[in-house]
């Protein structure tokens, strides 16, 4: 068809549409709006709605699928297009969809796990499986509950400010389910539960997923609503596009569109005003392109403006009041059901909500995040509505079926070299509230970390741990035998085994206090050969027994690249017994104490100032240099009493006491890319607190610059640093989470 014929065709359609309007001019035309699914492309619906409002068209009924259900449901609640645009602009949709939990809602163990394992996969019937979905959709649901709160008691969706319905797919039967009654947030959540992206949603006795599987343009239901004119906004993937097959999201989008696209010819014929934004450059996960997508919606709406204006002239205007997003809610009753392994008081403790109070929705989200972050539950849904004149929050979260997990990570630093970490975690191994975990670290030497923990929440919990570290070092060691007296850097193979029994209690998720008993087996085998005994000398080869106590506080929003918060990590170890094969050792009890604390100060959106200070000392004779503090290296996980210090080689200098200060300025070049400027200063020697040496001046200082990249496997950092005490530029490389 040439350009002339196309123009005549469009003019003819507009003529017949105008004749339809004229024929019905004596009546107030009722207008139905259909919003298709399309993932991120559905953001264009907001742009079209802005133009519909500008033209003065009154919408009398809305039907939607998936993203169309989300936009349509919110519009039906009374929000304006401008408000929807503002919501999108102020919400990080990627974080919401991915269920990214703020670090402050995680338990201490969960925080450590999040900074330890790159991947977590369920084990089902002895086989590692990939999860059914990328997200459980908890944050999405929490958002719906808040935004739709004013309509919480509207069980019949035809009674909303604008009547509404949406469609979902029954995962068990494959049949279309029309949702026009019930709890609105739950209905919209079910309609938009895209397979592989979100978990299925249970609505009464049905398990539902995205309605786009069976009907991505639900116009047939609208035909029975008595509407005179139907406006349809189509943001579906064009199945003729070959570009869409190059990405996973594109393939998913095409799969979801196959059935409905075949029906679009007849559906389009039933639509009086058909609007299709140009969105082929985007896919269903293009949430970072919301401005561009919305502008395409606006442009498509402007193209339909003559039809919209003609329609508006034959309607009675209806003002649309701007609804405020509710900031808080009244909670009269909290009804939390008991699950097989977790009692109601455990769930209530995580929620931190009590009846007969007013709470912000932020507080509600934090409570739900506390529960979700435990990973003890699958995606759970709740209702917040009025029952018998009381505002009631009702929920019974379903326990996760995946109680056995495989986890893994990779790491490299100068001290331990390259390591691959594999982990097996089993929840409810012996008791309802326990967890067994085994780390195997594969590298130059065999290493492991085993733990068993019985979680009592805010009460005293009980734990057992067993760890083994093994590596080579050139740290200065002290040897004092009848034949030799040596105190110098020496090639040494280190084997450290530590077994601990402890009890601890939590004060919220940020503070943990614990005490325990420990057994340590330390082997420091040097490369110094003693011809008198015909064997290599050991700097240490003994078993030690100790009592310990610790206090940890962590309010940082990220362990490696924080923008706010602080931390404190302090412990005391009293060594009361020793067992050694060396007859020349005269053991006496000794005490080792150390602490590390720091804070983060955001300077602006790009710059962050971090500073920390640490110190430690020994009371009594520690018997072995294995317990000395050592300066040097960067990026390795804490081992023994080794302290990182940029610009110095690993364990460059040792002593039985130390003080250290660090200052770092972090500049975020672009998201996930960091440039850090660092200063270190410290003193390490023997008895610095007894002699007052710690007041006399700095023995070691250094400056450095690092490039850091945040990856799913942890940080990747390259650091160049210089210390005058070492005398030359030194590079540190760190890859992956520390473990």
Question: Strands 511-530 and 535-554: what pairing?
Answer: antiparallel
Which pLDDT belongs to residue 396?
Answer: 86
pLDDT tier at 115, thresholds 50, 70, 90:
confident
Which pLDDT belongs to residue 242?
Answer: 45
- Residues 144, 138: Cα–Cα separation, whole Å: 10
CB atoms closer than 10 angstroms to residue 65: 33
Which pLDDT belongs to residue 133?
Answer: 77
For 24-80, give the secondary structure using H, E and C.
CCCCCCCEEEEECCCHHHHHHHHHHHHHHHHHCCCCCEEEEECHHHHHHHHHHHCCC
Average pLDDT value for the chain: 87
pLDDT tier at 260, thresholds 50, 70, 90:
low
- Give the H or E element holding residue 405: strand 404-413
- pLDDT tens digits along 360-407: 999 999 889 888 888 888 878 999 999 999 999 999 888 888 899 999
- Give the H or E element holding residue 570: strand 565-580
- CA proximity to 235, closest of 72, 43, 31, 82: 43
In terms of pLDDT, which residue wins out, 6 or 211?
211
In terms of pLDDT, which residue wins out, 561 or 524?
561
Which pLDDT belongs to residue 10?
Answer: 47
In terms of pLDDT, which residue wins out, 27 or 189?
189
Which pLDDT belongs to residue 62?
Answer: 98
- pLDDT tens digits along 117-152: 988 899 888 888 887 777 888 999 999 999 999 999
Radius of gyration of the chain (CA): 32
109 pLDDT higher than 80: no
Facing residues of 642 across strands?
630
- Residues 200, 692: Cα–Cα separation, whole Å: 65
pLDDT tier at 583, thresholds 50, 70, 90:
low
Which pLDDT belongs to residue 390?
Answer: 94
- Residues 621, 478: Cα–Cα separation, whole Å: 13
Backbone angles phi, psi at 493, to 5 degrees: -95, 125
- Residues 116, 714: Cα–Cα separation, whole Å: 8
In terms of pLDDT, which residue wins out, 646 or 258?
646
- pLDDT tens digits along 172-193: 999 999 999 999 999 999 999 9
């Amino acid at each position: 068809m040439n350009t002339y014929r196309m123009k005549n065709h469009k003019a003819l359609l507009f003529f017949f549409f105008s004749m339809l309007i004229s024929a019905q001019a004596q009546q107030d035309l009722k207008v139905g709006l259909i919003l298709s699914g399309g993932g991120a492309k559905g953001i264009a619906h907001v742009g079209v709605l802005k133009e519909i409002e500008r033209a003065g068209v009154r919408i009398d009924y809305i039907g939607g699928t998936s993203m169309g259900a989300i936009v349509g449901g919110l519009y039906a609640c009374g929000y304006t297009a401008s408000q929807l645009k503002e919501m999108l602009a102020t919400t990080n949709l990627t974080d919401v969809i991915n269920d990214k939990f703020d670090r402050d809602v995680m338990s201490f163990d969960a925080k450590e796990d999040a900074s330890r394992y790159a991947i977590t996969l369920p084990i089902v019937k002895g086989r590692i499986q990939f999860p059914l979905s990328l997200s459980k959709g908890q944050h999405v649901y929490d958002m719906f509950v808040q935004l739709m709160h004013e309509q919480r008691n509207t069980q019949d969706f035809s009674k909303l400010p604008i009547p509404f319905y949406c469609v979902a797919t029954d995962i068990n039967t494959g049949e279309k389910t029309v949702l026009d009654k019930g709890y609105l947030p739950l209905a919209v959540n079910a309609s938009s539960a895209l397979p592989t992206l979100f978990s299925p949603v249970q609505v009464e006795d049905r398990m539902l997923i995205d309605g786009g599987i069976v009907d991505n343009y639900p116009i047939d239901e609208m035909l029975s609503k008595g509407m005179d004119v139907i406006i349809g906004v189509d943001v579906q993937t064009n199945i003729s596009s070959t570009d869409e097959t190059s990405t996973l999201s594109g393939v998913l989008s095409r799969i979801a569109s196959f059935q409905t696209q075949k029906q679009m010819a007849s559906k389009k014929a039933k639509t009086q005003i058909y609007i299709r934004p140009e969105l082929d450059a985007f896919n269903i996960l293009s949430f970072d392109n919301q401005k561009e997508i919305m502008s395409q919606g606006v442009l498509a709406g402007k193209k339909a403006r003559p039809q919209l204006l003609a329609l508006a002239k034959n309607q009675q205007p209806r003002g649309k009041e701007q609804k405020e997003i509710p900031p808080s809610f009244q909670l009269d009753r909290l009804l939390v059901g008991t699950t097989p392994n977790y009692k109601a008081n455990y769930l209530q403790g995580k929620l931190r909500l009590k009846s007969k109070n007013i709470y912000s929705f932020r507080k509600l989200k934090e409570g739900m995040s506390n529960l979700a972050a435990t990973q003890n539950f699958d995606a759970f849904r709740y209702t917040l509505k009025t029952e018998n004149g009381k505002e009631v929050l009702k929920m019974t979260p379903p326990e996760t079926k995946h109680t056995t997990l495989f986890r893994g990570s990779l790491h490299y630093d100068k001290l331990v070299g390259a390591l691959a970490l594999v982990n097996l975690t089993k929840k409810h191994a012996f008791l309802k509230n326990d967890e067994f975990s085994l780390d195997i670290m594969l590298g130059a030497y065999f290493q492991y970390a085993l733990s068993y923990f019985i979680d009592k929440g805010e009460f005293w919990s009980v734990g057992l741990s067993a760890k083994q570290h093994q590596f080579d070092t050139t740290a200065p060691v002290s040897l004092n035998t009848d034949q030799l007296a040596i105190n110098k850097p020496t090639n040494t193979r280190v084997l450290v085994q530590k077994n601990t029994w402890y009890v601890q209690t939590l004060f919220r998720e940020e503070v943990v206090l614990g005490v325990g008993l420990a057994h340590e087996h330390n082997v420091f085998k040097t490369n110094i050969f003693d011809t008198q005994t015909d064997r290599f000398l050991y700097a240490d080869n003994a078993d030690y027994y100790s009592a310990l106590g610790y206090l940890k506080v962590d309010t940082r929003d990220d362990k490696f690249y924080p923008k706010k918060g602080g931390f404190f990590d302090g412990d005391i170890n009293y060594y009361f017994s020793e067992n050694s094969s060396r007859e020349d050792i005269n053991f006496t009890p000794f005490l080792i104490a150390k602490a590390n604390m720091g804070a983060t100060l955001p300077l602006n959106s790009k710059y962050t100032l971090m500073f920390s200070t640490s110190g430690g000392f020994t009371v009594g004779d520690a018997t072995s240099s294995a317990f000395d503090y050592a300066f040097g290296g960067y990026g390795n996980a804490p081992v023994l009493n080794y302290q990182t210090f940029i610009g110095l080689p690993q364990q460059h200098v040792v002593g039985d006491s130390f003080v250290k200060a660090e200052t770092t300025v972090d500049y975020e070049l672009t998201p996930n890319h960091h440039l850090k400027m660092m200063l270190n200063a410290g003193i390490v020697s023997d008895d610095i607190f007894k002699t007052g040496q710690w007041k006399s001046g700095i023995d070691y200082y250094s400056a450095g610059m690092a490039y850091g990249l945040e990856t799913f496997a942890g940080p990747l950092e390259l650091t160049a640093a210089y210390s005058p005490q070492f005398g030359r530029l030194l590079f540190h490389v760190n890859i992956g989470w520390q473990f």
